[in-house]
Amino acid sequence: MGSCLTAEQRPAAAAGAAPGGKEGEGRREEEVPGRIAGNGVGNAACLFTRQGRKGTNQDAMVVWENFNGRADTVFCGVFDGHGPHGHIVARKVRDTLPSKLRDLIYDDYGESPVSNSDGSILEETLSPYADAENKSPMSGQKQEHREFFCTMKDSFRKAFRVTDKELKLHRNIDSICSGSTAVTLIKQGQDLIVGNLGDSRAVLGTRDQKGRLVAHQLTVDLKPDHPREARRIKRCNGRVFAHQDEPDVARLWLPNCNSPGLAMARAFGDFCLKDFGLICVPEVTYRQITEKDEFIVLATDGVWDVLTNQEVVDVVASCSDHSFAARSVVDLANQAWRFKYPTSKTDDCAIICLFLDKEDGAGGLSGSSVTSNGIGYSQWAPAQSRKPRLSSKRVVPEDADDGSDSNISGDERSLESFTRLNTLLALPKFGDTSPTKK
């Protein structure tokens, strides 16, 4: 979901070749120890994705344990493609971004960074936009801790920017009207850095003061109608409005034609919009993990569109075997799609469950079902069915960091129609600039 789809799909990558690379390149990447890029289970995490009914599965995901050569460090990322070549963009980002980030961290530190060497903790003043101006979560902390977070934030932003520029220059990937979201994290010891781009989401399962397991949202969905995002888009002459046939979905449009209708304000690719307010600058936040924190869920909007944060946390917690947790959430999300949007095409779903206590979870389990396209299925038994509770809650974010990446030239090639999660309407190509006319 996110971008509209053209009536004519351009040819995909050559058969047998890794998306966006030479043949065999993806297979070599998969052979990296501790890296799982499809349905499977690792020492601390489980992954699962299922194709929806809109066509090719455009979701991708990766878990990389022993990241940067450290046994206490793991990288996780979930990527949601959109547009005619979104699946190729998502897989290219999945295969490129972690290595870029690892190299940048090494260049900055000489090794993976270590914080809290004096045993102190970094106080969590985390807002969904904690890296906004004058709202740093490092305020009031020691200088070395501020430097740690700032350097990690710079590494995330550089890695995202370099990955986006490589997409633009890649000859075999047409990302003019295709792109991908990304929600990523690095957990090193008790330090957690989260980088978010778009409307995928990270949610923490933690215990409150009464010992109840509650959901704490670590990211905010970066949509065009958020006040700070909308101001940036309008300054760049982009337009934000919801089409009359889907009034609850604000989209980003080109200045002079009603296309392409992107339902997010930040993304990889989508270069036709990069001069008009779309950016690839991630929101980067920090959290100190405590003994009350049990697991983190990263998932694409195919899950969050139909399940609340608390419902997802409850499902993960209900699984006595952690290796079933990701699939159980996807199973429930698919049921919820049928109940909530019975006339709609089910969206792709991808999820990573990262457990913060290895000894209590999937410890000792090895990675399995590693696939290059992220749509293979492992031989897990089906989880027990649960009837979904179809409540919904909208998170109202605080103000966002106002990044910019306007050095990429735009392309006004439009797309003919779009597919919304809860509508089957195939709208005609717009010929005027009025948001109220079909």
pLDDT tens digits along 288-314: 899 999 999 999 999 999 999 999 999
Q: Which residues contact 93 (CB under 8 A, 6 or more apart)?
A: 60, 79, 163, 167, 180, 182, 268
The residue ranges of the chain whose pLDDT is under 70 are: 1-31, 108-145, 358-438
Q: Could you tell me which of 371, 334, 326 has the C-alpha nearest to residue 41?
A: 326
Q: What is the pLDDT of residue 142?
A: 56
Cis amide bond preceding 137, omega within 30: no
**How confident is the model at residue 3, as a pLDDT?**
43
Residue 54: Cβ within 10 Å count: 17
| 3-class secondary structure, 40 | strand
Q: Are 90 and 175 in contact (CB under 8 A)?
A: no
Q: How many CB atoms lie within 10 A of CB 246?
A: 18
pLDDT computed for residue 51 by the predictor: 95
Write down the pLDDT at residue 175: 93
Distance between CA atoms of residues 319 and 324, nearest Å: 7
The answer to whether 168 and 175 are in contact (CB under 8 A) is yes
pLDDT at residue 396, as a whole number: 36
The answer to pTM > 0.85 is: no
Per-residue pLDDT, 143: 65
Ramachandran sector of residue 267 (left: φ over 0; alpha: ψ -120 to 50; beta: rest): beta
User: How much is the pLDDT for 144?
Assistant: 62
Structural domains present in the chain? 30-360 (3.60.40.10)
What pLDDT score does 139 carry?
47
